[in-house]
Structure 1
Amino acid sequence: MLVIKDAKIYTSANKIYEKGTIVIENGKITQVGEEVTISENAKVIDAKGLVVTAGIIDAHSHIGGFGRTMEEQDLNEMTNHSTPEIESYYGIDFTSPMFTRAYTAGITTSALAPGSGNVVGGLVCAVKSYGKNMDDMCIENPIALKMALGGNPKGVYGKRNQMPMTRMGIAQVIRENFLKAQEYMKKQEQAKDDNTKKPPYNQGLENVARVLRREIPIKVHCEQFDMLTTLKIAEEFNVKFTLDHAWGSSDFYDEISSAKNLVGVIFGPAGVYLTPGECGKVDIECLIELNKRGVLCSIMTDGPILNPDVIIQQAGELVRFGASEEIAINMLTINPAKIIGQSHRIGSIEVGKDADIVIFKGIPTLDTNAKVVTTIINGEVVYQ
């Protein structure tokens, strides 16, 4: 039994304890509150004067697949504009020191996605920051299918004089993937149990079919008016989606907040891109208004584009613009947990959930000098 005693606890479950205690057993949270029962042989962490949150969740990252400074490209299979058949799971080096940097910064889970070189990049998985191997660290695969609009795929394939050179081409590539998968599913349904009539097995179309069956969302790299393309295509095919990066969202509050298939907005990174065009409006304050309108919002690092510790600083910008520290903390914890479909396990400090917990000196998002003191993953102290 591990006990965190007498901390200020932001549960991310609509409750803040000013002097609360958390009891952890077998990797799970078994008690949380101001009056709990503690075993005599429990290991106790005295957290008086400290602040506790659920483990931070980075809902869009590439750590383990791009090296430390993008020198590797194991998450960008840029040989075809559409590679829905591949999985980020197999491109991740679980021994990468970026995972250590993540958990020392309080990030306990990351959604690890293929890069944005292709229009359709492949499947995304959710991975804990600490473990023996990928089987141990991965908590679900897949959680989404990665797609990308705008300058990234244009920059890759335009230079080769191949489709897509334009935004027109990108939109059509996405539509063609859905149309082919629809036809594939139709033939499978018509064949029923007659294997001789079924279409040849196609892993890529199987993965796109998961999206069409609304089992997983598309995770779409898009900014500025490219977001409207995502909204339109998602409505046409009735698929769930997330808006990733989402710079310029303040220009499209009505459109984004009324999109029926939107799972959430994963904003960022802020403070790294300030270039003309689609990267020219990094308006993180838009999350305050989107949150008021009921949109599920979270913050990303796009690691290793930004180092893991910067995720808290980005959330602090929201507080500077007028959000409460609790709302900002939720955008690091329970909101991304819901967006990546893992809120039944992670994202808040509640009985029965994984004991992924961070202890801070100072209030994260509010105190500019707040520091991670301890990180706990699956009930194990991994950093102190």
Structure 2
Amino acid sequence: MQAIVGGKVITMQGGYYPNGTVLMENGKITAVGEKIPVPDGADVYDAVGQVVMPGFIDAHTHLGMLEEVFREDGDDLNENTDPITPHLRAIDAINPVDLGFQDALAGGVTTVGTGPGSANILGGEMVALKTLGTVVDDMVMQYPIGLKAALGENPKRNYGQRKKTPATRMASAALLRETLVRGIEYIKKMERANRGEGEYPERDLKLEAVTRVLRREVPLRVHAHRADDIMTALRIGGEFNIRLIIEHCTEGHLVADKLARAGVPAVVGPVIVNRAKVELQNRSLETAAVLAGHGVNFAIMTDHPVVPIQYLSISAGLAVRGGLSEEQALRAITIEPARILGLDHRIGSIAPGKDGDIVVLSGHPFDLRTVIKRVYINGTSVEF
């Protein structure tokens, strides 16, 4: 059994214990509160004067797929030979010894969503995994967590300059619609065959991935910076009755009411970024606060390695400068990304029965002087 005693425990589930205790056994949290007896033989960590929180969660990264130091040799991010590649699986490209995983642990990040880049209209399926391990299969929490899609400049630039489709935003939307329609026809053929009314279609891995979206088993996670691209995503989502998550949502503050009305969540960021392309000209630290004001569910991301993953908490702190409350900012890197990933029953808060993913900090996570003192994943203390 592991015991963290005497710390300022922020559960992210409505509870705060200034002199709290967290007990973990067999990878799970078994108790949290004050005046909790510590069983004999427990491995005790004295957290007096320190902050104890659920492990941080970065819902949108490219961790393990785009390694910082190897350039082309470590780049498995974009299969930029075909704009429609929904059958690609992030799990097949992740290198668990990417140094970014060490950085994640050093920054208190215990769970990430990682996946393909945005060169293609449909780039492949994303995966959620813990940041500790040597074999990806053992690190996976859930696969898939969504199908990556992209609108805006990236697909245009990647294919248009080669005189291929898409070269315009119209073509990007059309390709996405065409693929969803093909997915619907694939489902109909399967259903007819199940009723004995025809033969089964030839297996199509691309369309199998698309049908998971059409059946609302997973969301379509759409890279969209500009407000018009966000609206295109909402338009297509409504046409096909699919679940959406808006990734980046740079101009989300301009259409926050539309996102709220559609009930579509967002993963906002990266926050620490310059205006590297025209789509970022209206980037603002106020985006998250505006989304919160309209009741939009959102998380904050690093887009690692665009922003190094260890700066996730700093990114959330900068959103506070933009008007977001500290409570909302803490939620945006804990319980809210857990909900967006569909994993809030396991991670994102400190509660009995949840995974023993805990971060212990010397001070408040938004204080630049704060350092990570200890990280637990599945109830085990991690060396980093």
| Bin of the TM-score, shorter chain as denominator length | over 0.9
Query: Tell me, which stretches of 5 or more residues in structure 1 are unaligned?
Result: none
Native 8 Å contact 1:268 1:284 kept in 2: no
In the other structure, the counterpart of 1:231 is 234
Runs of 4+ aligned residues of structure 1 deviating over 6 Å after TM superposition are: none
CA distance in 1, matches of 2:110, 2:315: 17
Q: 1:82 aligns with which of 66, 77, 84?
A: 84
In the other structure, the counterpart of 2:330 is 329
Are residue 5 (structure 1) and residue 5 (structure 2) matched? Answer: yes
Change (3 A) 1:153 1:276: closer
In the other structure, the counterpart of 2:304 is 303
In structure 2, what residue type is equivalent to 1:93?
N
Native 8 Å contact 2:271 2:318 kept in 1: no
CA distance in 2, matches of 1:97, 1:275: 25
Structure 1 stretch displaced more, 208-217 or 269-278: 269-278
3-state SS of 2:232 partner: helix
Q: Any residues of structure 2 matched to 1:35-54 within 5 Å, and which? A: 35-54=35-54
CA distance in 1, matches of 2:175, 2:107: 38
3-state SS of 1:342 partner: coil
Q: 1:35 offset after TM fit, Å?
A: 2.4
3-state SS of 1:14 partner: coil
In the other structure, the counterpart of 1:202 is 204
3-state SS of 2:309 partner: coil
In the other structure, the counterpart of 2:368 is 368
3-state SS of 2:95 partner: coil
Query: Tell me, which stretches of 5 or more residues in structure 2 are unaligned?
Result: none
CA displacement 1:269-293 (0-9 Å, x = unmatched): 0122314521112223221232232
Native 8 Å contact 1:218 1:241 kept in 2: yes
3-state SS of 1:309 partner: helix
Q: 1:195 offset after TM fit, Å?
A: 9.2
CA distance in 2, matches of 1:182, 1:96: 38
In structure 1, what residue type is equivalent to 2:364?
I
CA distance in 1, matches of 2:230, 2:77: 23
Native 8 Å contact 1:10 1:326 kept in 2: no
In structure 2, what residue type is equivalent to 1:336?
P
Q: 1:193 offset after TM fit, Å?
A: 5.2
3-state SS of 1:258 partner: helix
Query: How many equivalent pairs are there?
Result: 381
Structure 1 stretch displaced more, 212-221 or 186-195: 186-195
CA displacement 1:162-221 (0-9 Å, x = unmatched): 000110010001101100000110111111154961111111111111101100001111
Q: Any residues of structure 2 matched to 1:33-112 within 5 Å, and which? A: 33-68=33-68, 71=72, 72-112=74-114
Q: 1:18 offset after TM fit, Å?
A: 1.4
CA distance in 1, matches of 2:141, 2:230: 29
Change (3 A) 1:324 1:233: same
CA displacement 1:136-180 (0-9 Å, x = unmatched): 101111110000111111111011100001100100011011000
Change (3 A) 1:126 1:374: same
Are residue 256 (structure 1) and residue 241 (structure 2) matched? Answer: no
In the other structure, the counterpart of 1:28 is 28
In structure 1, what residue type is equivalent to 2:35?
E
In the other structure, the counterpart of 1:179 is 181
Aligned alpha-carbon RMSD (Å):
1.4
In the other structure, the counterpart of 1:240 is 243
CA displacement 1:298-318 (0-9 Å, x = unmatched): 111111111112211111112
Change (3 A) 1:275 1:305: closer
CA distance in 2, matches of 1:221, 1:79: 19
User: Identity of paired residues, percent?
Assistant: 40
In structure 1, what residue type is equivalent to 2:3?
V
In the other structure, the counterpart of 1:274 is 275
Q: 1:368 offset after TM fit, Å?
A: 2.6
In structure 1, what residue type is equivalent to 2:67?
G
Change (3 A) 1:195 1:49: farther
